Amino acid sequence: MADAQILMKAQTVNDEYRTAALNRKYYGCRLQTVKRQNLTCEILLAFSSSSAVAAWSLWQTETGSLAWKILSAVAAIIAIVKPLLALDKDIERYSELVVGYAALYYDMRKLIADAKINSGVAAEDWARFESFQQRMAALGVKDDLRARQKLHDRCYDEVLSEIPDSALWWPLEEIA
């Protein structure tokens, strides 16, 4: 019974470690994507509103004139839609999540390394782990309500290959 409990605790620690790694990776990708989207919007808006660019003789040609009209229309739509998309808020939230999960990932990695070295987890280490879980729950409030499935699956597979079973702490020797 006690063995099963230790194994269950080890499974919980390992799962949380892998989840922190997964979320760090997933939100890192999301942050990168949203930052890129925001930058594209900003460049388009700046480009279309620049009088220096508008004065280029390139726009005087037939094709250039059409291109300028399309660019202006796209920029007008972006100017309307961008505040509604709230990309700035997403960037802020994803940044907090990446930093939070990265800190948890390194803390849990240390905890697992300690457990492997000491062949077990001391009471104060469990207390440490509980504080990690609290931090994880606090971050969970800011989590995406629905994940981008393909990205999430890809990150999951990457985490599995980066953190194999051998990199985790399993109290098998202690139990045996």
Partner 1 sequence: MTNESDNEKSERELPLIKPTRDRKIIDVDTSNDSFIYVPPAPRLQPPRPWPGPPRREEDEMTIG
Query: Does residue 99 bind partner 1 (CB under 8 A)?
Result: no
Among 3, 42, 92, 153, binds partner 1 (CB under 8 A): 153
The pair of three-digit structure tokens given for residue 71, joined into one six-digit string: 């660019």
CB-wise, 30 or 48, nearer to partner 1?
Answer: 30
Cβ(174)–Cβ(6) under 8 Å?
yes
Among 96, 114, 125, 143, binds partner 1 (CB under 8 A): 143
Cβ(110)–Cβ(36) under 8 Å?
no
Query: Does residue 51 bind partner 1 (CB under 8 A)?
Result: no
CB-wise, 59 or 156, nearer to partner 1?
Answer: 156
Give dist(CA 94, CA 141) in Å, integer: 12
Give dist(CA 161, CA 73) in Å, integer: 46
Cβ(115)–Cβ(121) under 8 Å?
yes
Among 19, 33, 37, 38, binds partner 1 (CB under 8 A): 19
CA 91 to chain centre: 11
Per CB under 8 A, residues contacting partner 1 are 7, 10-11, 14-15, 18-19, 22-23, 26, 136-137, 140-141, 143-145, 147, 149, 152-153, 156, 160, 165-166, 170, 172, 176
